[in-house]
């Protein structure tokens, strides 16, 4: 997958993707990242990319033309068509389901704003989708872009070693993840649930599913409504609730 990032700090986003799974995805050719800085496309002696807002008020607004020229350069750098995603708190909430959908695309352009905003005419003319990674305000879209890149990169075929299947992520089926344990078995902080050392894979899978269901029910009941629960899931959850009611 090719991802073009439009940002005043493209190296910032590149660094976020340079480590771990995303770094390896790059080395394996599963992910090609390209940064484009609107300042390189700004005209005039001062190469302005921002200006005072019409209507007054604090801060600055990013100008249309440098962004538009950077977007055009990104589009033209590869013959394949692409959609443009703008990261902002005004966007549609980013979810694992959305990450899965984006991960199937050949390309995407991520537009990162700074200052108080981007001239709305650029958004209307060039942006296909607006995405939010959460209801809070960051100082720019770059960290949000890095989050989207990470979530999409790890879903690329071959990005994770076969011992870390992305499919096992509980969020893949809309539930919270189960607890995890590793050596040592005995520790002053407590025990490892015996079932995990039983070698009984059916029981282990059942325990993990029960823990995911129970956690989701306790911590994020809103997710439970969305999740597609099997009959077995519902029976497990009833057993979990019954045990708590004892």
Ligand X SMILES: Nc1nonc1C(=O)NCc1ccc(Cl)cc1
Please report, as ranges, the residues that interact with ligand X according to CB under 6 A: 62, 87-89, 91, 113-115, 117-118, 132-134, 136-138, 140-141, 144
Residue 24 among the catalytic residues: no
Report in angstroms how near the CB of residue 90 gets to ligand X at its nearest.
9
Q: What is the Cα–Cα distance from 206 to 221, expressed in whole angstroms?
A: 20
Contact present, 115 and 59 (Cβ < 8 Å): yes
Q: Is 135 marked active-site?
A: no
Of the pair 38, 214, the CB lying nearest ligand X is at 38
Of 114, 154, 209, 215, the catalytic one is 154
Write down the least CB distance from residue 116 to ligand X, Å: 7
Tell me which of 51, 106, 116, 238 is the catalytic residue. Answer: 116
Q: Which region holds residue 234: left if phi is over 0, alpha if psi is between -120 and 50, else beta? A: alpha
Which residue is catalytic, options 24, 75, 78, 89? 89
Nearer to ligand X, 86 or 207 (CB): 86
Helices 96-103 and 142-153, interaxial angle, to 10°?
70
Q: How far is the CB of 230 from ligand X (least distance, A)?
A: 33
Measured from the CB atom, the residue of 53 and 91 that comes closer to ligand X is: 91
Q: Is 154 a catalytic residue?
A: yes
Residue 198 structure tokens: 């039983």
Judge whether 129 counts as a catalytic residue: no
Could you tell me which of 23, 49, 39 has the C-alpha nearest to residue 117?
49
Q: Please say which residue, 62 or 84, places its beta carbon nearer to ligand X.
A: 62
Which residues are known catalytic residues?
A: 89, 116, 154, 169
């Amino acid at each position: 997958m090719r991802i073009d990032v439009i940002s005043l700090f493209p190296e910032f986003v590149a660094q976020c993707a340079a480590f771990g799974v995303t770094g390896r995805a790059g080395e394996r050719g599963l992910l090609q990242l390209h940064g484009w800085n609107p300042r390189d496309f700004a005209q005039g002696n001062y190469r302005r990319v921002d200006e005072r807002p019409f209507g007054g008020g604090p801060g600055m607004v990013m100008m249309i033309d440098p962004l538009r020229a950077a977007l055009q350069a990104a589009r033209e750098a590869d013959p394949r068509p692409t959609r443009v995603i703008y990261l902002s708190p005004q966007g549609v909430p980013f979810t694992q389901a959305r990450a899965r959908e984006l991960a199937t695309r050949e390309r995407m352009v991520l537009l990162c704003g700074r200052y108080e905003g981007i001239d709305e005419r650029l958004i209307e003319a060039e942006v296909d989708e607006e995405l939010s990674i959460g209801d809070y305000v960051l100082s720019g879209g770059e960290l949000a872009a890095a989050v989207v890149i990470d979530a999409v990169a790890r879903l690329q075929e071959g990005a994770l070693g076969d011992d870390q299947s992305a499919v096992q992520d509980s969020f893949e089926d809309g539930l919270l993840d189960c607890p995890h344990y590793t050596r040592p078995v005995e520790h002053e902080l407590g025990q490892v649930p015996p079932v995990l050392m039983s070698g009984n894979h059916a029981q282990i899978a059942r325990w993990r599913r029960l823990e995911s269901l129970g956690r989701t029910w306790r911590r994020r009941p809103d997710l439970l409504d969305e999740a597609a629960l099997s009959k077995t899931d519902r029976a497990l959850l009833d057993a979990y609730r019954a045990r708590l009611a004892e």
